Amino acid sequence: MSQLKSSFPPPSARIAVAMSGGVDSSVAAALLVDQGYQVVGVHMKLHDLPSEERRDKSCCSIDDSLDARQACARLGIPFYVLDFTERFQSSVIDYFIDGYRAGETPNPCVMCNRKVKNSVLLDRVREFGCDFLATGHYARIRHSAKGAEGDGSGNGAWELARPRDRHKDQTYFLFGTPREELPHLLFPLADLDKTQTRAVAEKRRFFTWNKPDSQEVCFVPSDYRKFLRERMEPVLPGNFVDRSGKVLGTHGGIPFYTVGQRRGLGLSAPEPLYVVALRPQSNEVVLGAEPELFSRGMRVGGANWVSRPPITAPIEAEVKIRYSHQGARARIVPEKQPGGEDTLRVEFETPVRAIAPGQAAVFYQDDVLLGGGWILPVENI
């Protein structure tokens, strides 16, 4: 087993902390201040949510900037607000809308971490003289003296790994982190559970110590269907069909359904029906019995390898197909696509339920997040 050490910057380091206004990022900043680092708090303005639509379980509600500012004031550290609304619109909100339009189930939190919170923010905080960026994610960065498999450099390698608190493990959302950024990222909460984090916040008298966890899509004020209707061209109704093409009824529009959905179909049948696939080209929603939701395989595109070089031969790994998924053992096989991007074929040991195109598939070996990609639509449904 390789020797591992956590990621610690030198004592003189100047560290920026992404301050969301929640309890986790506030405590992350406090821990770094207590260790004697020069700490700068930065809050990202991502979008404008009307005050009447504020929700306590959103990570970007209207009071979050104030909460972040108050935490920095208690810690005696500088505080800056960075306006990323245009970047967030193009990289996250537009992606969210386009995904549903294409019959996919997008994951905006993964895309936000990939396109905004790490890559762009890390570049901006360097303007403040910071070589490190810390966040309140429950994750761990460590260094393997042995080096990643397939690296061959002999100089060791940085790894993104699960935290102590498995119930709060957020590595799934970080699979898109560029590998070269790992030495510059810090996750101070890696060894804390949520109860301990709240205890630290209460002791420091942060106003956010009992603030609810973020659980919603921050830019969707209520029902995502209403949000989509207001931002799409008229969504056309179409047919519910079974796999053979038999018409079972009429649906309200492809964007309002996801694979695995049972409720809200408005149909009666001798047995429960589920959305088993979406056909955006023919505007059809495919329904079937629950056994039809299970699959032994899928294809994944847009792979990003965080803790190792890209694979050139099959590997065995645990694969999560959504954040709440417990993970399933699988064989991951690299594929060369003629005239297109390379993909991965994932072959599960046992069938997996409700694989939704557009979601992130993330690969683990033990505690290490190897990488991940985006689940591709199934051909010839």
Q: Annotated active-site positions, please?
A: 112, 218
Angle, helices 23-34 vs 194-203, to 10°: value is 70
Residue with tokens 């799409």: 232
Helix (H, G, I), strand (E, B) or coil at 253: coil
CA distances from 201 to 27, 77, 149, 219 (A): 6, 16, 39, 26
Residue with tokens 């004020």: 221
Kindly give the pairing relationship between strand 328-335 and strand 315-320: antiparallel
Q: Measure the N-to-C terminal CA separation of the chain; round to a whole number of Å.
A: 44
Beta bridge partners of 211: none
Side chain identity, residue 7: S
Q: Mark 355-377 as b/e (b = at least 16 C-beta within 10 Å).
A: bbbbbbbbbbeebbbbbbbbbbb
**Residues in contact with 196: Cβ distance below 8 Å, sequence separation at least 6, in sequence order:** none
Sign, Cα dihedral of 299, 301, 303, 309: positive
Kindly give the pairing relationship between strand 38-45 and strand 140-144: unpaired
Residue with tokens 């991940």: 372
Where does residue 52 rank: exposed (0-12), middle (13-18), buried (19+ CB within 10 A)? exposed
CB 16 within 8 A of CB 134: yes
Residue with tokens 């990222």: 185
371: left (phi over 0), alpha (psi -120 to 50) or beta: left
**In terms of Cα–Cα distance, which of 104, 134, 39, 146 is closest to 377?**
104
What 8-state DSSP symbol labels residue 266? -
